[in-house]
Amino acid sequence: MTTFHVLKLGDMLPKNLLKERKLVAVRDSYFTAAGENYGSTVISIVITLQHEYSNKQEEIYTVAKFPPPGEFWRRVTNNSHTFRNELAFYQTIFPTLQCFQKEQNSGKTLEFFPKFLGGRLSLNPLVKFPDEDAIILLENLKEKGFKIHDRYIGFDIYTSKLILKKLAQLHSVTLALKLKKPAEFEHKISPYLEEYEIFTNEDGVFQILVNNLFMALAGDDFCCPYLDRIRSTVNTCLGNFFLPKNTLKFRQDTFATFIHSDLWTNNIMVKTYMNKVQDVKLLDLQLFEYASVTKDLLFFLFTSVESSLLIENLDELITFYYKELKENLEEMKCCDDDFSFNAFTTEMKTVASSIGYFHVIRGFPFIFSATNVLCEGEEFTREHFFKCIEFSKICTARVRLTTRVFIKQGWI
């Protein structure tokens, strides 16, 4: 078993956990299989506490996230910003949203993120970006019956709507905070929505992905007549994809606010009872950004809903999400004509054709890879990246299906 030797772990734990208790043991193991999480190293840590007077012991099941090993992937994903931002989500952004939502008396609460137990960027309190001692400590949802769904299958309609309900709630609260308390949004949220570079096209890696994309589409009879249009859309998307994250270019979108930006099957955990999903938790806030909520919606739908069901139910799912969003905004008394369904679908079309298509497509080789390219504990290198962007059969099928739907919807 790999041992991570987390220094001063007890210093991060909530004070109520350590009241009349002391930390006596720690054991760890990998939480995710190799290749299941590229953005960070995730391990499970079982913390044993002992009561000072009775000597009775209890175990606290946690998950710890660390920056990923390897300079290449840290550089490509700008981990110095993304890790800092995820920690800020749990320390500052999430509590701010919860407090605001409570003030609105809507009767709803944002209870679909794991409980935060502690975290730091460094043992040095003056350090502003993560170093080798950076860590985010969360509750272990597996111990509460949550699990990650099979990414190769995707979610059914019932579960997809349950997730969309949560997503619409997150979006509506951040939109309402921005509109009703702009100063608080600026003070508590905006510091983590500044522009920064991410996903650099190092060694032309994304151009190779684009070449693989068109090789896949060339073999599809439906897509072939539209290749010029698809290439034009991809070129537009690429131009926007390589702009700094949180670019001012998209700040004026009506539905622009704080979004997750990476919501797919592996970043969602579900709890099932009698073969039916009862609860949902959203994970991995590393890539959040200020952008249109439709960007989040598109990414989730095309990466995570069962493909055959997506074709048959796309319009229904889009309408369901919009109604949830609007209802939440109305409850918080900040929904006007600017948030009409026509404005929403118009913005979705603009986002889909300007950034959304490539935002979805670039995720497919990683999500639908034929095999994991990493061994346990191995760092993600340039060679691994080239291996990842090869299209598996299931990736090719999903790319073709998604492109057909974008064409039929008038988004390409």
Residue 250 confidence (pLDDT): 75
Residue 369 confidence (pLDDT): 85
Residue 204 confidence (pLDDT): 74
Does residue 57 belong to any structural domain of this protein?
no
- Judge whether 22 and 52 are in contact, CB under 8 Å: yes
Residue 202 confidence (pLDDT): 66
pLDDT, tens digit (0-9, with 9 covering 90-100), for 142-191: 999 999 999 999 999 999 999 999 999 999 999 999 999 999 999 999 99
Does residue 1 belong to any structural domain of this protein?
no
What's the Cα-to-Cα distance from 376 to each of 31, 43, 131, rounded to whole Å? Answer: 11, 11, 21
Tokens 């889009």 correspond to 318
pTM, 2 dp: 0.92
Q: Which domain holds residue 103?
A: 71-408
Residue 212, φ and ψ in degrees, nearest 5: -65, -35
- Judge whether 107 and 310 are in contact, CB under 8 Å: no
Does residue 51 belong to any structural domain of this protein?
no
pLDDT, tens digit (0-9, with 9 covering 90-100), for 79-101: 889 999 999 999 999 999 999 99
Tokens 């110095």 correspond to 80
Does residue 50 belong to any structural domain of this protein?
no
Does residue 17 belong to any structural domain of this protein?
no
**Which residues, 6+ apart, have CB-to-CB distance to 342 below 8 Å?**
none
Does residue 32 belong to any structural domain of this protein?
no
Residue 1 confidence (pLDDT): 43
- Judge whether 138 and 116 are in contact, CB under 8 Å: yes
Whole-angstrom distance, CA of residue 118 vs CA of residue 9: 9
The angle that helices 307-331 and 393-408 make with each other, rounded to 10 degrees, is: 60
Residue 77 confidence (pLDDT): 80
Domain count, the chain: 1
Low-confidence ranges of the chain (pLDDT < 50): 1, 34-35, 374
CA end-to-end span of the chain: 49
Does residue 338 belong to any structural domain of this protein?
yes
Does residue 59 belong to any structural domain of this protein?
no
